[in-house]
Amino acid sequence: MNKIAVEDFKGMIRSGCANLENHAAEINTLNVFPVPDGDTGTNMSMTFNNGYAEAMKCSSDSISEVAKAFSRGLLMGARGNSGVITSQIFRGFYQQIDGKNEIDTKDVAEAFENGARVAYKAIMKPVEGTILTVIREASWYANHDYETEPFDLDTYFAKLCDYSAKSLEHTPDYLPILKEVGVVDSGGTGLLRILEGFKAYIDGKPYDFAEKKEEAAINPALMLENEEFGYCTEFIVRLDENIVDTFDEKILKKKLTDMGGESLVVVKDEDLVKVHVHTLKPGDALNIGQRYGEFIKLKIENMQEQHSTIIANAETQPGKKVEEKKAKQPQKYGIISVAAGEGVTRLFYDLGADVVVSGGQTMNPSTEDFVKVVKELDNCDNVFIFPNNSNIILAAKQTQSVMADRNIYVMETKSIQAGLSAVGMFNKEGEVEDIINDLQDVIANVDASSVTYAIKDTTYEGVAVKEGDYIAIADHGIIASGKDRKQIVFKLLDHLFENDEKELLTIIYGEGSDPDEVNEIEEYVSEHSNLECEMIDGGQPVYSYLIGLE
């Protein structure tokens, strides 16, 4: 094959998506820690599925437009660090082929190299031995071979997959912990599965989904929650060429506000402008929008009918309580937190969070999930996001670029324990810069540890672990492993007691906890330390105990 046209590109995406999804569970097992929260395969698959769905919706004959839709879908669906990096790789790919109706080997080779560059730039502190290394090395060597002696696309993808596999094999040389545990990088493995899917299509033997997948139905616009009555009006306009560079979002916002528009969101993305407005006169809003260019998507929904339907449906379900939402008052600050477990979620609300996004160790929210809840807080001048997991931070930060017109701040909380402390200390009367500085100090002061169970046999930094053992995690490593959960908790506490600079111990016990064991642990803290101890029923899955020391 010498050229890739639109249908070929869509076929490649589908084959790559299928191969990745079919291997997601296998990729999940490549977790360095032997804990039941390996989610790289799931995150990458869900991210890629979102991009695939958007690419399939695009009816353009230009491969550039399909790549653009694919890139945006990946961006909005990005989950976890590997998902975000994947979205950036294909963002760079799209940027390199922008404006082309079809692409050849040279275009593809340059596009993947640019994808590697864009992905590296998106990460503040790139780590070698990860998906970044695999795309950088593989794209460089494949392009170098092509420049030395040009060849067709069949040969290019064969080389790209071969170099990716070799790079993946050497990821443990960059990260010794991978070598000790006996695995290769999970994100790099996911990327290889995608590229293998591309190659399979080029070879005429595309992968299909293990379980038949319904093709994505075309959704003409984003689904947003509506609090008012009237019409929820949403449209996307492609700006006329002569006004793309001079377009001012503030002017359009003012025009829509002057005609009585509420819950207004206007976002410009290159030559596209997305508008969401609640109004009693949707026709007037469309007339204003049409002055700027050509509609490519629009939706108008009667919120009164929606409201009545929701009320009627809820009333037919026993136990469902319907509450009218009150008009939202303007706020200087809005707080979004991520949590799993009824008790932890309730505690975040009690501490002042406005929205708690469901997610955590085993299910990471996407960028689009954050975008939706930020839109819910349209009455807030500034929005603070607390990801509470290191694998969610990048997806949260993507929200800042997607919604550049909003003041969004992502605090890098890497644990539920740090998130609770930070939200609890949030000063809603302070100024943004002071709040950020204060919260950074609070977050840095929290030592987070946990107890969970092992899903496989391994040895981690000299600690032998057997499948089914309870393990204590502290200081970014496993410090104890055994069959008796209570004794493992005691060993973890003894380790924490060695830090005589801390004063407060918070123990959050998870779902299915033993009340007697919880009481014994509280007594153990009282007998063996001078720490003030707070016991909280978090109800979180996977982790029997989350412990914060500050």
CA pair distance 57, 67, nearest whole angstrom: 12
Given pLDDT bands bounded at 50, 70 and 90, which one contains residue 28?
A: confident
What does the pLDDT look like over 222-253, one tens digit per residue?
Answer: 333 334 446 777 788 888 888 888 888 778 88
- Outline which parts of the chain fall under CATH 3.40.50.510: 331-444
Residue 318 confidence (pLDDT): 41
CATH topology of domain 231-302: Alpha-Beta Plaits (3.30.70)
- Outline which parts of the chain fall under CATH 3.30.1180: 447-549
Residue 528 confidence (pLDDT): 94
What does the pLDDT look like over 285-294, one tens digit per residue?
Answer: 888 888 888 8
Q: Which stretches within 5-104 are classed as H helix?
A: 6-22, 24-28, 40-57, 63-77, 80-97
Residue 435 confidence (pLDDT): 96
* Mean pLDDT computed over every residue of the chain: 87
Q: Show Cβ contacts of residue 544 under 8 Å, excluding neighbours closer than 6 positions.
A: 451, 452, 453, 470, 485, 489, 509, 510, 513
CATH number, domain 331-444, options 3.40.50.510, 3.40.50.740, 3.40.50.880, 1.10.1740.10: 3.40.50.510
- Cα–Cα nearest to 138, from 199, 180, 79, 205: 199
Residue 87 confidence (pLDDT): 95
Average pLDDT over residues 473-500: 92
Average pLDDT over residues 518-538: 93
Lowest mean pLDDT, pick from 78-82, 140-144, 239-243, 400-404: 239-243
Average pLDDT over residues 361-375: 86
CATH number, domain 447-549, options 1.10.357, 3.30.300, 3.30.1180, 2.60.40: 3.30.1180
Whether 340 and 413 have beta carbons less than 8 Å apart is answered as no
In whole angstroms, how far apart are CA 139 and each of 105, 157, 189, 257, 535? 12, 10, 15, 49, 51
CA pair distance 358, 364, nearest whole angstrom: 8
Residue 172 confidence (pLDDT): 93
Residue 362 confidence (pLDDT): 59
CATH topology of domain 3-202: 1.25.40
Whether 47 and 77 have beta carbons less than 8 Å apart is answered as yes
Average pLDDT over residues 173-195: 91
Residue 230 confidence (pLDDT): 64
Residue 383, beta-bridge partner list: 334, 408
- Outline which parts of the chain fall under CATH 3.30.70.2730: 231-302
